[in-house]
Structure 1
Amino acid sequence: MKVVKVINNNLVRTYDENGNEVLAMGCGLGFKKSSGDEIDSSLIEKLYTCNDKANTNQLVKILEKIPFEHIQVTNEIINFARASLGKKLNDNIFISLTDHLNFAIDRHKNGIAIRNALLWEIKKFYNHEYLIGKEALDIINRRLGIQLPEDEAGFIALHLVNASMDEISMQKATDMAKMIQQIINIVKYHFNMELDEYSIHYERFITHVKFFAQRVLSGTIIKDQDEQFLAVLKQQCKDEYACTRKVKEFIKQEYGCDLTEDEMIYLTVHIKRITSK
């Protein structure tokens, strides 16, 4: 294998033995390398197949900015998850989980904790993924000396659930896709703006809405409520909350599901992120 382009000291573009473009990752893989140089295959830790240009570009942007040891930990977690679950995970999890864990580690270092209001539901309905999330916290602690809170095990579990959605029924997948697109349209029309589909916040929004749609279609409702936080949110994010109310009315009319206050909080926060300039 030969270098096509050096992204950074640990990441290069190349082609595999079948002529497919791939991203090769490994400690020092791109150090002092130029286009056309041979790649030391013994240094390769991970190959990402470049099937989708947009996803590949998004992955490159993320991997350029994230510490290499965070990427290595994420790869170890994903490999463990695939072996434990015994099923295929969507390759997009390399983007979503790498970004999430890096963000979580930064938040932890700055003393910022985020409560996972879905933790009880995750333990009950996605126990296997939750247990993998607990093991992921141990991996992070062993490799980086950072002990993240249990809430993060739940967030990791959500990424695994979303990454395995290819295995749900075709009808439910179709219904979910329709619901997600309709919610996106509500946000676009409410704010009269196009959303940046290549932004990190958009990726996070879609991840949340996918899981939200799955809960609506399965009848799983978040029951935990934080009335004080909701009152503050209504004051500080009036326009975003008004948009969330439109989503609530749509879900009630189309699916007969009445959203709880916690669902309203989570949607409002994500809408605030993707519509902020």
Structure 2
Amino acid sequence: MKITKILNNNAVIVMDGQQQEQIAIGAGVGFEKRKNDIVNINKIEKLFVLKENEKLQQLLLRIPEEHFILSKEIITYAEKQLDTKLNDHILLALTDHISFAIEREKQGIHLKNKLLQEIKILYKPEFEIGLWALQHIKEKNQVEMPIDEAAFIALHIHTMKIKGGDLHETVRQTAIVRDMVETIKDYLQIKMEEDEISYERLITHLRFALSRANQYEVHSMDEEMLQMIKRKFNVSFRCALEVSKKLSRAHGIELPEEELGYITLHIERLRHY
């Protein structure tokens, strides 16, 4: 493959045997190279068809090379920690995000992540990777990022896992969980300790309850047990009903009564913790 354009030391545009241009990514793949030089295929880590990745080319020309390297190092670390291959598209999405975040931070612009607490619980392994990424950025670029950024990075990593899903849908689901928790807080007039295990269990259960509702699955519960829960934990069950009503009005999601029984148990535990 011949080089048709050098983007930076780690990215070049090459022409393959079918006369198709591709972006070749790899450590040092463009170092001391010129147009028409033969690329060292042993240095190529990823290949992207150019016509499908014009945004990647534009990004590589626009951002500082060290930001691209940072992103690659974070992706490599994430794949090792999660023992899974991330979707190739994460290179574009994460590099763009990290570069923009670093520039914002240098300008003193700090973005708050309203879903920070929920992300910490729902996507714990990815959040730990996000924390590592912040430390890595600090060591490599001398830029100290707020913990909110670890949550943003965690979302990118989660949605780029093979079965991670869509970023917008992940954010939507996480925001709905947060709204459900806020409804419980307001209804019971209580303050939840976000580092308590009962809070973590509630968050996790609500996430899976949403998932089951979206897939039309039912978390079964014996009818006699359900009636006992409704009778014995009346306040918590009415709170669960309020959560269900708001969920239906705001998002058109219906929770079956059996699911409310399980949510009631989590709410009851919070009330008396």
State how far apart, in whole Å, the 2-side matches of 1:58 and 1:150 are.
28
1:211 and 2:209 equivalent?
A: no
> Counterpart amino acid of 2:45?
L
Q: What corresponds to 2:45 in structure 1?
A: 47
Q: 1:75-86 alignment to 2 at 5 Å?
A: 75-86=72-83
TM-score between both structures, scaled by the size of structure 2 = 0.59
Change in CA separation of 1:8 and 1:128 when aligned onto 2, cut-off 3 Å: closer
Contact 2:23 2:57 in 1 (8 A): no
**Identical amino acids, percent of aligned pairs:** 32
State how far apart, in whole Å, the 1-side matches of 2:79 and 2:159 are.
13
Alignment deviations for residues 179-226 of structure 1 (CA, whole Å, 9 cap, x no partner): xxxxxxxxxxxxxxxxxxxxxxxxxxxx3x22234447xx6234569x
State how far apart, in whole Å, the 2-side matches of 1:8 and 1:81 are.
24
1:220 and 2:177 equivalent?
A: yes
Contact 1:140 1:147 in 2 (8 A): yes
State how far apart, in whole Å, the 2-side matches of 1:27 and 1:136 are.
22
Note the C-alpha offset of 1:69.
0.6
List runs of 5+ in structure 2 lacking aligned partners.
Answer: 184-245, 256-273
Look up the SS of the partner of 1:221 in the other structure: helix
Change in CA separation of 1:14 and 1:98 when aligned onto 2, cut-off 3 Å: same
| Alignment counterpart, residue 103 of structure 1, candidates 97, 100, 105 | 100
State how far apart, in whole Å, the 2-side matches of 1:127 and 1:8 are.
35
Note the C-alpha offset of 1:254.
3.6
Q: What corresponds to 1:167 in structure 2?
A: 163
> What is the aligned-residue RMSD (CA, Å)?
3.4
1:128 and 2:112 equivalent?
A: no
1:23 and 2:33 equivalent?
A: no
Which structure would you say has the larger Rg?
2
State how far apart, in whole Å, the 2-side matches of 1:28 and 1:86 are.
26
Look up the SS of the partner of 2:177 in the other structure: coil
Count of residues in Structure 1 that have an aligned counterpart in Structure 2: 191
Look up the SS of the partner of 2:6 in the other structure: strand
Note the C-alpha offset of 1:15.
5.6
Note the C-alpha offset of 1:85.
0.5
Look up the SS of the partner of 1:255 in the other structure: coil
State how far apart, in whole Å, the 1-side matches of 2:249 and 2:59 are.
34
Look up the SS of the partner of 1:7 in the other structure: strand
State how far apart, in whole Å, the 2-side matches of 1:112 and 1:125 are.
27
State how far apart, in whole Å, the 2-side matches of 1:16 and 1:137 are.
37
1:14 and 2:14 equivalent?
A: yes
State how far apart, in whole Å, the 1-side matches of 2:51 and 2:41 are.
24
Alignment deviations for residues 105-156 of structure 1 (CA, whole Å, 9 cap, x no partner): 0111001111111110011111100000000111111111111111111110
Alignment deviations for residues 219-266 of structure 1 (CA, whole Å, 9 cap, x no partner): 6234569xxxxxxxxxxxxxxxxxxxxxx9998364249xxxxxxxxx
List runs of 5+ in structure 1 lacking aligned partners.
Answer: 177-206, 226-247, 258-277
